[in-house]
Amino acid sequence: MERVTHNSFLFKFNHYQTLKSTIAMNRKHIILAIAFVASALTSFAQDSENRARTGIRGGLNASNMYIDEVTDRNPRYGFHASLFTQLPLVKNKLYLQPEIGYSNKGTTARYNVLNTFQGENTFSLDYVEVPVLLTYKIGNFVDLHAGGYGGYLLNANTKSKSDVGSTQIELGKGNFNEIDYGLSAGLSIYFGKLMIGTRYNYGLRPVATSDAAKVFMGNAKNSVGQISVGFTF
C-alpha cells in the first residue's frame, strides 16, 4: 500500500513538472508572439506617420470682394482644383505643403444710385494659384494649414445688368492685376486616403488696375472660402 502511494506521488510530481514546463514554454511563445505583433504595428504606425502625403483636392469656391459704394455683395460660386505634396520639416509634426492648381473667383455687386438707378455687376476671374503652406499635424488624421498663396490671372469676364437691360462690359484681362497674392488658412481631415477640408484665402492686392475697372471695383481684393474633397496617392 505504501509502495503504491509512493509511485502515485512520483507520477503526480512528474506530471506537475511536465505541465509546468509546458506552460512556461507556451508563455514564452505567447510573449514572443505579442512582441512580434507589437513591433509590426509600431513599425506600420511609424511608416504611416512619417509618410509625406501627395494628392489631389478640389471642390466649391464661394468668393467675394469688398467693394465700396455698393448696396449689396453676393458671393460668386465657382470651383477649385489642385495638386499638393508634403515635405517633412519636423518629424511627424510640421510639414511644408506646396500646391499648384486652378481657382475661380469674383463677385456680384449690386448698386443703387440716388434710389433711382439700380443694377448689378458680375466679375469672373480665373487664376492659376500656387499656395505654400505650413502644415501642423494633430495625430495622423487632422492637418492644420497656414501660409500664403500667389496667383496668375488667366481670364477675366465682366457682365452688367441694370434697369435698362443687360450689357457686356468690355473689361478684359488687361484691366486687372495679373498677379494676385494673399494669406491662407484651413484644415484637412483624413479618412485613410480620403480627405475633406476647408480653407479661407484673403487677398492682399487690389484686383483692378485701370481707371475703368476701378470705377466698378475700387480697391477691392479677393476673398475666397473653399470646401474641398480629395484623395492621396
pLDDT, residue 26, reads 57
The CA-atom distances, in angstroms, between 4 and each of 1, 7, 9, 13, 15 are 5, 5, 9, 14, 16
Tens of pLDDT, residues 79-89: 999 999 999 99
Dist. CA 160–CA 88, nearest whole Å: 48
Cα 182 from chain centroid (whole Å): 17
For residue 112, give the nearest of 67, 170, 162 by alpha carbon.
162
pLDDT, residue 197, reads 98
pLDDT less than 50: residues of the chain: 1-4, 19, 37-38, 40-50
Tens of pLDDT, residues 185-210: 999 999 999 999 999 999 999 999 99
pLDDT, residue 31, reads 63
DSSP alpha helix (H) spans, 51-197: none
Model pTM? Answer: 0.74
Beta strands in the chain (DSSP E): 54-65, 72-85, 87-90, 94-113, 117-138, 142-162, 165-168, 179-191, 194-206, 221-232
Per the structure block, which three cell numbers stand in for 81?
Answer: 482644383
